[in-house]
C-alpha cells in the first residue's frame, strides 16, 4: 500500500461519476458496468490498505501539514473504508436490476458515486473544514437520492431531510468557525496539539455542543432522529441500504468518535453524554419500531436503536481492555452489513410484489427462497442470535457495561435486544412464513444479481462472526480501529516525515 494510493478513494468515484454521463447517452449499458467496476476497484484498494498497519499521511498537492490538507489513513479509517466500499459494492450489484423500476440510471449512479466519494473523503481527511466539504458532498447527493422517485412521499421526505440536514451542517460550520477562532488552525493534529492540556472552558464546551448536535442530527440519535424514518424508507432500496448501513455512521458516528477521542480529547462529562444519548436512542428506536407495518420504516426505526448501541459502547469509560470501544466499532461494522442486507431484502420484496406493507404480504418463502433465507440470516444477526455476528458485538458491549459497573445499562442492552428479536420475528412471520394471501398473485424470484448481492451480505454476516473466534485480542480490523481511538489526541508527525 503506497501512500500515493490514498487519494484514489476519492478520485475513482468522482472520476467515474464524471465519465458516466458523458458516455452513457450512446451506450445504454455503460452506467451499470462503470459503477460496478468502480466499486470493485474501491473494494480492492480498501483491502490493500490492510497491508500496512501504521498511520499513513498523504499531503494533498504536496503542501506540507501546516499549509496543506492531509489525508490520514489509520486503523479506524481502514475499517470504515472497508465497510463503506463493501456495502457500496453490494448496493451497486443490487441496483443493476432493481433500478429498472426507476427512470434514469445515469443520474442515479452519478449521485451514488458522489455519495461514496464524499463518505470516503470524510473518513480519510485530517482537516476539519475538508471534513465539512466532503460531508456536504455526501449529504447533498443523499438528499437528491432520497427524492429520486419524485413521488409525493419521496419529495416530502427529501425536503424534510434537507432542511434538518442543512441545519445540522450549519451548526457544524459554526463549530468549525469557533474551533478556528480558538486554536488558529483547522488541521486535526494541530488542533489536538493546541488543545492538549487546555481546561474545559466555556467556548470549548460550546464548540463541543455544536459538534455533538450537528453530527448527532446526521447520525439520527434520538432527540434529533425525526428525519430518518421518513428519509430512509422513501429512497430506492439500495440507497436505503447505503443510508442506513453506512451514511449515518460515516458522517455521524465516525465523526463524533473521531472528534471526541482524537481531537478534543475525551472527558468524563462527554462519556456521560454519549451514554445517555446511546441509551435513549437504543430504547426509543426499538419501542417506536414495534408498531410499524411498513417494512422499510420498521427497519429504519431499528437503525436508530442499533446506532444507540454503538454510541453507548463508545460512552463506556475506557480502561486497559477498552471492551466498550471494541464492541462499539465491531457492532458498527456488523450493523452496516446486516441492516443493508435487510433493506436489500425489502427491496427485493417490493420488486417482486409491488408492496412493502406487512399486512398485505405473506408466505414469500416458497416463491422467493433466496430472499427468505437471507432475510432470516439478517434478522437473526440483528436480533443477536448466536452464531451470527450481531450476537458477539452485543455480547461484548454488554460485558463492557458489566465490567464498568453499569448494570442498568447492561440490562437495558439485553432487553432491547430481546425487543429487536420480537420486531424482526414480526417481519419474518408476516412477510415470509405465513401462508400466502390471495392478493399476492404470481411472483417471480429475485433476479440473479439482486440475489447475489443479498447472498454476499448474508455470507458476510456469518463470516464476520469469525473475527471473534480468531481471538478477541487480535481481531484483524476492529482492534487497530479501537487502538486508533484509544491512543487519544493526534500528535504532530515529526518534522520532515511523510
Partner 1 sequence: MIYSLCFVLIAIGIYGAVTKKNVVKIVISIAIMEYGINLLLILIGYRAGGNAPIMEKGMEKGVGLAEFIATSVDPLPQALVLTSIVISLGVLALMVAICIRLYERYGTFDITEMRRLKG
CA distance 76 to 258: 9
* Residue 203 burial class via C-beta count within 10 angstroms: exposed 0-12, middle 13-18, buried 19 and up: exposed
Q: Is 127 in the site for partner 1 (CB under 8 A)?
A: no
The pair phi, psi for residue 492, each rounded to 5°, is: -70, 145
What is the Cα–Cα distance from 408 to 443, expressed in whole angstroms?
47
Exactly one of 234, 306, 346, 375 binds partner 1 (CB under 8 A); that residue is 234
Say which DSSP state 418 is in: H
State the nearest-atom distance from the C-beta of 79 to partner 1, in Å.
28
Q: What is the CA radius of gyration of the chain?
A: 21
The phi and psi torsions of 45 (rounded to 5 degrees) equal: -75, -25
Site for partner 1 in 391-420 (CB under 8 A): none
43 or 210: CB nearest partner 1: 210
DSSP helix/strand/coil, 96: helix
CB of 418 to partner 1, least distance (A): 23
Spatial distance between the Cα atoms of 149 and 159, rounded to a whole number of angstroms: 13
Site membership for partner 1, residue 209 (CB under 8 A): no
Residue 223 makes contact with partner 1 by CB under 8 A: no
- Does position 290 interact with partner 1 (CB under 8 A)? The reply is no
What are the angstrom distances between the C-alpha of 428 and each of 344, 371, 386? 15, 11, 18
Interface with partner 1, residue 180, by CB under 8 A: yes
Q: Does 287 bind partner 1 (CB under 8 A)?
A: no
Instruction: Compute the distance between CA of residue 159 and CA of residue 145 in angstroms, rounded to an integer.
Output: 12
CB 138 within 8 A of CB 118: yes
Q: From the list 181, 205, 209, 448, which residue makes contact with partner 1 (rule: CB under 8 A)? A: 181
Total binding residues toward partner 1, as defined by CB under 8 A: 38
Instruction: Kindly state the DSSP code that residue 71 receives in the 8-state scheme.
Output: E
Among 50, 133, 399, 455, interactor with partner 1 by CB under 8 A: 133
Interface pick for partner 1 out of 85, 110, 292, 303 (rule CB under 8 A): 292
Site for partner 1 in 147-176 (CB under 8 A): 147, 150-153, 155-160, 162-163, 166-167, 169-170, 173-174, 176
Is residue 214 involved in binding partner 1 (CB under 8 A)? Answer: no
For residue 492, the SS3 value is: coil
Q: Which of 88, 229, 278, 384 binds partner 1 (CB under 8 A)?
A: 229
For partner 1, the binding residues (CB under 8 A) are: 129, 132-133, 136, 140, 143-144, 147, 150-153, 155-160, 162-163, 166-167, 169-170, 173-174, 176-177, 180-181, 186, 229-230, 234, 291-292, 294, 297
Amino acid at each position: 500500500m503506497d501512500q500515493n494510493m490514498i487519494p484514489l478513494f476519492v478520485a475513482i468515484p468522482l472520476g467515474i461519476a464524471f465519465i458516466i454521463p458523458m458516455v452513457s447517452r450512446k451506450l445504454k449499458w455503460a452506467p451499470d458496468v462503470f459503477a460496478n467496476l468502480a466499486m470493485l476497484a474501491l473494494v480492492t484498494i480498501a483491502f490493500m490498505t490492510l497491508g500496512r498497519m501504521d498511520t499513513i499521511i498523504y499531503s494533498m498537492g504536496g503542501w506540507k501539514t501546516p499549509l496543506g490538507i492531509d489525508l490520514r489513513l489509520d486503523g479506524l479509517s481502514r475499517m470504515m473504508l472497508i465497510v463503506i466500499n463493501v456495502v457500496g459494492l453490494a448496493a451497486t450489484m443490487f441496483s443493476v436490476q432493481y433500478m429498472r423500476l426507476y427512470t434514469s440510471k445515469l443520474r442515479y449512479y452519478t449521485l451514488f458515486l458522489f455519495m461514496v466519494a464524499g463518505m470516503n473523503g470524510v473518513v480519510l481527511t485530517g482537516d476539519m473544514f475538508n471534513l465539512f466539504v466532503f460531508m456536504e458532498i455526501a449529504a447533498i447527493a443523499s438528499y437528491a437520492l432520497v427524492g429520486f422517485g419524485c413521488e409525493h412521499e419521496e419529495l416530502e421526505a427529501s425536503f424534510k431531510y434537507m432542511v434538518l440536514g442543512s441545519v445540522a451542517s450549519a451548526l457544524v460550520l459554526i463549530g468549525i468557525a469557533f474551533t478556528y477562532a480558538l486554536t488558529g488552525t483547522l488541521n486535526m493534529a494541530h488542533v489536538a496539539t493546541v488543545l492538549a492540556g487546555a481546561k474545559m472552558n466555556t467556548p470549548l464546551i460550546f464548540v463541543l455542543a455544536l459538534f455533538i448536535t450537528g453530527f448527532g442530527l446526521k447520525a439520527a440519535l434520538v432527540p434529533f432522529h425525526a428525519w430518518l424514518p421518513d428519509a430512509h424508507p422513501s429512497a430506492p432500496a439500495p440507497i436505503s441500504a447505503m443510508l442506513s448501513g453506512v451514511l449515518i455512521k460515516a458522517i455521524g458516528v465516525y465523526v463524533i468518535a473521531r472528534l471526541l477521542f482524537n481531537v478534543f480529547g475525551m472527558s468524563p462529562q462527554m462519556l456521560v453524554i454519549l451514554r445517555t444519548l446511546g441509551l435513549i436512542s437504543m430504547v426509543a428506536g426499538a419501542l417506536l419500531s414495534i408498531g410499524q407495518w411498513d417494512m422499510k420504516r420498521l427497519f429504519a426505526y431499528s437503525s436508530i436503536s442499533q446506532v444507540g448501541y454503538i454510541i453507548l459502547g463508545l460512552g463506556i469509560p475506557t480502561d486497559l481492555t477498552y471492551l466498550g470501544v471494541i464492541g462499539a466499532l465491531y457492532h458498527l461494522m456488523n450493523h452496516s452489513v446486516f441492516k443493508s442486507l435487510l433493506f436489500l431484502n425489502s427491496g427485493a420484496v417490493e420488486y417482486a410484489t409491488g408492496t412493502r406493507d406487512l399486512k398485505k404480504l405473506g408466505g414469500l418463502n416458497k416463491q422467493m427462497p433466496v430472499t427468505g433465507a437471507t432475510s432470516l440470516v439478517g434478522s437473526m444477526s440483528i436480533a443477536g442470535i448466536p452464531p451470527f455476528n450481531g450476537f458477539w458485538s452485543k455480547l461484548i458491549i454488554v460485558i463492557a457495561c458489566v465490567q464498568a459497573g453499569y448494570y442498568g445499562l447492561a440490562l437495558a442492552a439485553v432487553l432491547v435486544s430481546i425487543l429487536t428479536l420480537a420486531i424482526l420475528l414480526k417481519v419474518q412471520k408476516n412477510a415470509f412464513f405465513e401462508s400466502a394471501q390471495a392478493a399476492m398473485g404470481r411472483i417471480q424470484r429475485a433476479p440473479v444479481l439482486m440475489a447475489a448481492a443479498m447472498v454476499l451480505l448474508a455470507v458476510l454476516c456469518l463470516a464476520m462472526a469469525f473475527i471473534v473466534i480468531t481471538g478477541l485480542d487480535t481481531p484483524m480490523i476492529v482492534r487497530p480501529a479501537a487502538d486508533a481511538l484509544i491512543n487519544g489526541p493526534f500528535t504532530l508527525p515529526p518534522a520532515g516525515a511523510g
